[in-house]
Structure 1
Amino acid sequence: MYIYPATDRELDNILEIQDLCYHEIEPESPEVIASKIYTSPDTCFIAKDNQGIRGYLLSLPSSLGNPPQLHSNTQTTEPNPNCLYLHDLAIHPNARGMGVGKLLIQHFAKIALQKQFEHASLISIQNSVPFWEKYGFKVVSADSYLQKKLKTYGENATYMECFLPQHYQIN
């Protein structure tokens, strides 16, 4: 299994995996997914083996407590980001249990630290808080501003943050 930068050539595969994985939210459009890849190509990845693309991870430089709304086109990154926001991680159902998610998350953390981001953030959906806690993310209380953004991610959306140096090292 290898990690490669995500490009528009993989967009159809990414959309297929997204459709297979998300049942509590409406999947994002091809334009929205492509905007994230174009905006931050060095922080969006795919995991691929000889069977094809097994999963993907899309992330963007951001600010703690200020994630993008779901379904929003991303054209630029914030001028003074202080974290790497993990927008989406999805694994093809037939590749679950193969360590694809762990591999993508480790690569994400490595890139974040190389870019000198000590913090990562994400929005947990579909009751995935326990999964993210295994990787060092902790639930953070949402103020009213953040609660508005969380509503775009569905009923059980939870904002989480991770102090990366505590859990990951650059190898």
Structure 2
Amino acid sequence: MQPDDMRGVMAIQQSAYPAELIESRETLQAKLQLSPASCWFAEQAGKPVAYLFAHPWPDTLPPALNRPLTEIPQPCTALFIHDLALHPIARRQGLGQAMVNHALDWARHQQFKKAKLIAVERAHAFWASHGFSPREDKNPALRKKLAAYGAGADYLEMLLDPKESRT
């Protein structure tokens, strides 16, 4: 992903999420700036259709929704998949699966031990199909963070086998 792709990112986000989950351009640009190698953008026939924002993250609480990151806390042991979104015209074509597989392979190559994310908008089954499962410890601080992501949001994670590749 390049900074010039942000206009397309914002259009995809508007088509994919309800208003309460829309993040500012500043928030997403900060993620791209901090970890450009783990953010991807896809076009079909010259039109923006999908993106995936991810960044290294420690084994702590997830980052807050719609707050620009100014740094990535250390030490990082996981890839945090912050957002995967597809324009409706690109759904059910395998693009989301391909982007996730690419991100997970990148994380393995970086020798991360885990991948983490917050599942929203009834996406639990999609993420489970990739090997993610709910994190067991739901302490009050985690529950508070999850509340900002909407009803039914859950913190998911998976262990990464460095020998496995999905692409």
- Specify the TM-score bucket, using the shorter chain as the normaliser: over 0.9
CA distance in 1, matches of 2:32, 2:60: 22
Runs of 4+ off more than 3 Å: none
For 1:118 and 1:52, the matched residues in 2 are separated by: 35
Matching residue of 2:100: 105
Unmatched segments (≥5 aa) in structure 2:
none
Counterpart CA distance in 2 for 1:27 and 1:124 is: 15
Count matched residues: 166
Q: Aligned match of 2:88 in 82, 86, 93? A: 93
Out of 24-33 and 85-94, give the one that drifted further. Answer: 24-33
Contact kept, 8 Å, 1:36 with 1:74, in 2: the verdict is yes
Of 15, 18, 21, 2:13 maps to: 18
**Which amino acid is the alignment partner of residue 25 of structure 1?**
E
1:145 shift after superposition: 1.5
**Who is 1:134 aligned against?**
129
Residue 76 of structure 2 corresponds to 81
Deviations, residues 50-95 of structure 1 (Å, cap 9, x unaligned): 3332200001111234210101111211120110000000011101
How far does residue 166 in structure 1 lie from its aligned partner after superposition?
Answer: 8.2
Counterpart pick for 2:144 among 148, 157, 165: 148
RMSD: 1.8
Preserved CA contact (<8 Å) 1:24 1:154: no
Distance 1:52 1:19 in 2: 15
Deviating more after overlay: 15-24 vs 128-137? 15-24
TM-score (norm 1): 0.90
1:3 is matched with none
- Contact 1:83 1:118 (8 Å CA) reproduced: yes
1:34–1:10 CA distance, 2 compared to 1 (3 A):
same
Secondary structure of the 2:161 match is: helix
Unaligned runs of 5+ in 1: 1-5
Equivalence for 1:68: 63
**How far apart are residue 170 of structure 1 and its match?**
7.0
User: In 2, distance between residues paired with 1:131 and 1:94?
Assistant: 18
Map Cα deviations across residues 16-54 of structure 1 (whole Å, 9 max, x no partner): 000110127330011111111001101111123333322
Any idea what the Cα deviations from partners look like across 1:84-111, whole Å, max 9, x if unmatched? 0000000111011111101100110111
Quote the sequence identity (%). Answer: 30
1:158 is aligned, of 154, 160, 163, to 154
Find the aligned partners of 1:73 and 1:126 in 2 and give their Cα distance: 22
Taking the aligned partners of 1:99 and 1:78, their CA distance within structure 2 comes to: 33
